[in-house]
Amino acid sequence: MLPSAGVYYFPWEINSSVPEGEVLRTFGRLCFYDLARSKAVLTAQHSSAQYRVCVDTKFVEPFQAQLGSRYMVLGEVEHREGEGPVVKARILTCVEGMNVPLLEQAIQEQRKYFHERQE
């Protein structure tokens, strides 16, 4: 069974206010991967701040990690003691070469469309 499509979250929006079990999509550069602990960290720059998203890779292993490459993840949020929110990846895809400003604009347009549709 395929996971639900998931709501796009920017990496800087993923914090303790994201509900437990929420299915989401996000993106970032792979800066850390530990196969033994099934843990990866994606980073993203927004304004002058660097944001980190912890990813549990247990369900997508083995995969060929390319440190420094851009990845998109689809998964559920789990709040862990001492770690904050962790995305339990169902799909983890290398999207190196993706136009990030265009993706950010598309996400904003999609949100605007869904908001207008609900009114």
1 pLDDT above the threshold of 70? no
pTM: 0.87
57 pLDDT above the threshold of 90? yes
pLDDT at position 47 is: 85
The pLDDT tens digits of the residues spanning 6-16 come to 889 999 999 87
pLDDT at position 12 is: 92
The pLDDT tens digits of the residues spanning 25-55 come to 999 999 999 999 999 999 998 889 899 999 9
The pLDDT tens digits of the residues spanning 83-94 come to 889 999 999 999
Q: Which residue has the higher pLDDT, 77 or 18?
A: 77
CA distance linking residue 21 with residue 70, whole number of Å: 24
pLDDT at position 18 is: 86
Name 25's bridge partners.
8, 74
pLDDT at position 91 is: 93
Mean pLDDT computed over every residue of the chain:
90
Provide DSSP, 3-65.
PP--EE--GGG-STTSPTT-EEEEEEEEEEEETTTTEEEEEEEETTEEEEEEEE-GGG-S---
